[in-house]
Amino acid sequence: MIISVINRSGGRIPDMEVHRVLRAVNRQIADDFTPYWSLGATLRLEGSSPGRPRREHLEDMRGDAVLYLCDKLDVDDALGYHDLNHRGVPYGFVFTELSERLGEDWSVTLSHEAIELIGDPDVNLLDMGPHPRERGRTVFHWYELCDAVQAETYDVDGVAVSNFLLPLYFTGGDEIGGRNDFLGRVHADGPLRSFGVAPGGYVGFFDPKTRDMGTVEADAEAARRQVEKSRAGLARRGIRYARFRTDEAGRARPPRGRPAPAPAPAAARRAR
C-alpha cells in the first residue's frame, strides 16, 4: 500500500519537516509493525497547494490511501474535500491543533492514523471478544490497532511515534509468554491483557444486545482525550458509522443527505 500524505497545514509545517517524520514512521512500519502483522505500507509526501486549496482542485494524490495533514480543525471542509475529490479512497486526518489539545506531537498522531489505516483501511472490521466491563458478555471490538495504548509512545530516529497492538491482543485468551502490544510495558496490574486497555487508552465496540456502539476509557486522562476528539467531531470510524445506522430490527437504513457526526462517547457526554 502507498499512503499519500497531503500537506494542507498552510505552511505551518514545512515539507522538509514532514519528510523527516515520514522517514521515521516508514521505518517504524517496516522494522516494527510489519514483522508482527505481515502488513505494510509506505507513506509518501505528494503535491501540496499553498493556502487553502479549492475543493474542486485535485491534489497530486497517486497512492492507494491518503492522509491529510491539516492545521485547523475544520471537519466539514476536510471531509467534504475528500468526498468530493477522492470518494472511495481510504483516508485519515491529522490535525496539528487536535494534537496540541491532546498534548502529543503531531508525529504521534500521524503514526497512530497510519497504522490504523493499514490495519483496517475501510473501517469495517470487528473482532469478537469479551465485554470490557461486564463479565460473561460478548461484544464485537473495533479493529483499532492503537486506541488501547494511545497514550504510549517511543522514538524512532528522534521522532515520537505511537505504540501499537500485536495480533495476540485479538485472541480469546492470554497466551503464556505472549506479548499483546509492541512496547510491552508492565503497569500496576501487569502487562496489557487480550482485549484490555492500558492507562490513557480506550476500547470501542459494537454491543449486539443494545445494537449500539460503546467505548470504555481506562482513566480520567483517556476520558479527557475522548472529550477533545468528540469536540473535534472527527474520527474515521465515527464518520463511517454515522452513514450506516440501523433500525430497531437491525436493518441498515441509508442516510439522507450529509451524515451527522457520530455520538460522543459516554464519558465525553458526561464531561460536557
Strands (E), 174-257: 186-187, 190-191, 202-207, 212-217, 245-246, 252-253
pLDDT digits (tens, 9 = 90+) for 15-47: 999 999 999 999 999 999 999 999 999 999 987
Task: Give the range of the structural domain holding residue 38, as residue numbers without chain letter.
Answer: 2-271
Percent of the chain at pLDDT > 90 equals 42
The string of pLDDT tens digits covering residues 128-169 is 999 988 888 999 999 999 999 999 999 999 999 999 999 999
State the amino acid at position 177 in one-letter form: G
Distance (Å, whole) CA 130 – CA 135: 7
pTM for this structure? 0.82
Confidence of residue 104 (pLDDT cuts 50, 70, 90): confident
Shortest CA distance to 271 belongs to which of 214, 232, 242, 230?
Answer: 230
C-alpha grid cell, residue 194? 487480550
Q: Domain tally for the chain? A: 1
Query: What are the backbone dihedrals phi and psi of residue 97, each rounded to the nearest 5 degrees, phi first?
Result: -65, -40
Q: Give the pLDDT confidence of 61-86 residue by residue, as tens digits.
A: 788 999 989 887 766 666 666 666 67
